[in-house]
């Protein structure tokens, strides 16, 4: 059985990168994770999760013609395509109609706020792309899982409820990244002389690309969790048929 070793996202590259840039407000330790997660789930969401868990025992499983490889292959395809889109956004590649990274000339502005505005808008544009692509991929993988086994159908339902429960917090968290970038870019621009703007522009683009790729990693994590469960189930079924 093939595994997803090429998509090993253990640890958070995004958190590490933000920390290296010195623009995170507070590190999140593994010891505090469970407590903070509990704070995000209010009473109404707790009830929904409880109901979903209870309903799992009464779910009617309807298998459909699908292979265990289908879901994994789709994850690999979407991941590769998305990385390609992000990388090409910082090149002069002519085949893409998506928004390109702002040119060096955009930094020629007496107002630091106005000078960095195109860079922040660029980041938000690609955040929306990531949100759309990864949400669609997650729904697709849940659909695949639902038709493969009873256990996976139950997991897919639970994942759907949890995704809805944490959606508002996820949007709020990712919305903080452009705010943190604005703080960093403004400080850098104010310290930079006109002769150093070429170097600063290169630094801005390098940080933007690294953060977008890191954010892709973070948004992939729930999908990869589903894929690992699908592969574990495939292995179990393979062992029972031997």
Q: Where are the domains of the chain?
A: 10-240
Higher pLDDT, 68 or 223: 223
Sign of CA dihedral 109, 107, 196, 208: positive
- Residue-wise pLDDT for 90-112, tens only, equals 998 666 668 999 999 999 988 98
C-beta neighbour count of 13 within 10 angstroms: 17
| 213 vs 17: CA distance, rounded Å | 11
Distance CA 99, CA 56 (A): 44
- pLDDT, averaged across the chain: 81
* pLDDT tens sequence across 117-142: 999 999 999 999 999 999 999 999 99
> Which 3 state secondary structure label does DSSP give 205?
helix
Q: How far apart are CA 144 and CA 180, in angstroms?
A: 37
Q: What percent of the chain has pLDDT over 90?
A: 46
| Rounded distance between C-alpha atoms, residue 61 and residue 12, angstroms | 35
Residue 169 class from Cβ within 10 Å (0-12 exposed, 13-18 middle, 19+ buried)?
A: middle
pLDDT for 161 equals 86
Please tell me the distance from the alpha carbon of residue 59 to that of residue 63, in angstroms, as a whole number: 12
Q: How many whole angstroms separate alpha carbon 229 and alpha carbon 151?
A: 9
How far is Cα 71 from Cα 145, in angstroms, rounded to an integer?
Answer: 8
Q: For residues 177 and 175, what is the distance between their CA atoms, to the nearest angstrom?
A: 6
> Higher-confidence residue: 144 or 93?
144
Q: Which residues contact 53 (CB under 8 A, 6 or more apart)?
A: 158
Over residues 208-217, the mean pLDDT reads: 93
Task: Name the nearest CA neighbour of 90 among 211, 9, 195.
Answer: 211
> What pLDDT is stored for residue 63 in this prediction?
64
Q: Is the pLDDT of residue 52 over 70?
A: no
Instruction: Supply the pLDDT for residue 43.
Output: 45
Report the pLDDT value the prediction gives residue 10, as an integer from 0 to 100. 42
Range with top average pLDDT, 42-56, 145-159, 173-187? 173-187
Q: Can you give the pLDDT at residue 110?
A: 86
Outline where DSSP puts E strands in 7-164.
none
Q: What is the mean pLDDT of residues 25-46?
A: 51
Q: Are 1 and 234 in contact (CB under 8 A)?
A: yes
Highest mean pLDDT among 21-30, 57-66, 172-181: 172-181
- The whole-model pTM stands at 0.79
SS3 content of the chain, % helix, strand, coil (to 5): 75, 0, 25
């Amino acid at each position: 059985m093939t595994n997803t070793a090429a998509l090993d996202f253990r640890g958070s590259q995004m958190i590490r990168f933000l920390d290296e840039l010195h623009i995170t407000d507070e590190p999140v330790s593994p010891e505090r994770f469970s407590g903070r997660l509990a704070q995000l789930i209010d009473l109404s969401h707790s009830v929904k999760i409880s109901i979903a868990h209870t309903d799992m025992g009464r779910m009617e499983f309807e298998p459909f013609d699908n292979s265990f490889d289908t879901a994994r292959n789709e994850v690999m395809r979407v991941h590769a395509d998305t990385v390609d889109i992000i990388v090409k956004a910082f090149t002069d590649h002519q085949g893409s109609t998506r928004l390109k990274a702002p040119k060096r000339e955009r930094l020629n502005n007496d107002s630091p706020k106005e000078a960095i505005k195109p860079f922040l808008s660029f980041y938000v544009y690609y955040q929306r792309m990531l949100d759309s692509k990864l949400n669609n991929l997650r729904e697709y993988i849940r659909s695949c899982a639902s038709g493969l086994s009873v256990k996976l159908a139950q997991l897919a339902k639970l994942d759907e409820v949890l995704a809805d429960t944490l959606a508002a917090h996820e949007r709020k968290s990712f919305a903080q990244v452009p705010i943190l970038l604005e703080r960093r870019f403004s400080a850098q621009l104010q310290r930079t002389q006109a002769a150093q703007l070429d170097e600063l522009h290169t630094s801005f683009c390098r940080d933007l690309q690294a953060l977008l790729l890191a954010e892709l990693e973070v948004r992939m994590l729930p999908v990869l969790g589903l894929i690992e469960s699908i592969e574990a189930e495939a292995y179990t079924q393979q062992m029972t048929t031997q």
